[in-house]
Copies of this chain bind each other. A is one copy, B any other.
Amino acid sequence: MTTDTKNLNTESEILNAAKRIFQLKGMDGARMQEIADEANINKSLLHYYYRSKQLLFEAVFKSAFSLLAPQLNSVLNDDSPLFDKIRNFTNNYISFVVKHPYLPNFIIQELNKNPEFVKNLLAERHFPNIEKFSSQVDEQIAEGVIKPIKPTQLLINIIALNLFPFMAAPLLKGLLKVDDTTYRQLMEDRKTEVADFIINAIKL
């Protein structure tokens, strides 16, 4: 085994362990010892590879965001017709979040505690850009395909309908008095229902 692969193994093992712990407990709730245990290594190694809790956290956060951002981009910068786009996005996005249930919550939560952090993200290459989506919506309004609506509001609605049910899962499970299996089925149904809901809301 070469030094390089050893490095990569340990380093990525740490990052994966840190992802699990940070996304579950947040920056404040996570403990360096717990991350070390999760990665089956000595606590000092965390500092050897990432210097500090803050830097390890930032590595995790960026990695998480760069997983989420392309999902958003797929709705924004893509040439398919608006309605198709909404259907694809809803379907894909819910599949994605089912696989990474803690991710959106993690990002939004930490961004709330650290709003200035968003400035770092804006600089990133792959940060989503809404220009294309905006003009597409405006075109469709002009063509009389959909009702007048501000593109920003429509985008907020699309994201809200797709993300919120996962972020608020414990609350909604309680409110609707359903068990985990039923709730998962509800989310599965939403893959098509949310798109229908949105399209009905805007089509003329």
Contacts and interface: CB of A to CB of B under 8 A. Distances in A.
A121 B26 contact: no
B153 A160 contact: no
Contacts of A189: 150, 153
Interface in A67-88: 72
Contacts of A119: 174
A174 to B, nearest CB: 4
Indicate how many identical chains form the complex.
2
A71 to B, nearest CB: 12
A161 interface: yes
A10 interface: no
A168 B159 contact: yes
B170 A118 contact: yes
A132 B169 CA distance: 22
A141 interface: no
Contact of A108 (B117, B156, B168, B176): B168
Nearest to A178: B152
A200 B196 CA distance: 12
Interface string A153-191: 101110111011101111111111110000000100110
A108 B155 CA distance: 22
B153 A186 contact: yes
17 contacts: A27-B29, A109-B109, A128-B175, A130-B177, A147-B200, A150-B186, A152-B176, A152-B186, A155-B176, A156-B165, A156-B172, A156-B176, A156-B190, A157-B194, A159-B164, A197-B201, A200-B200
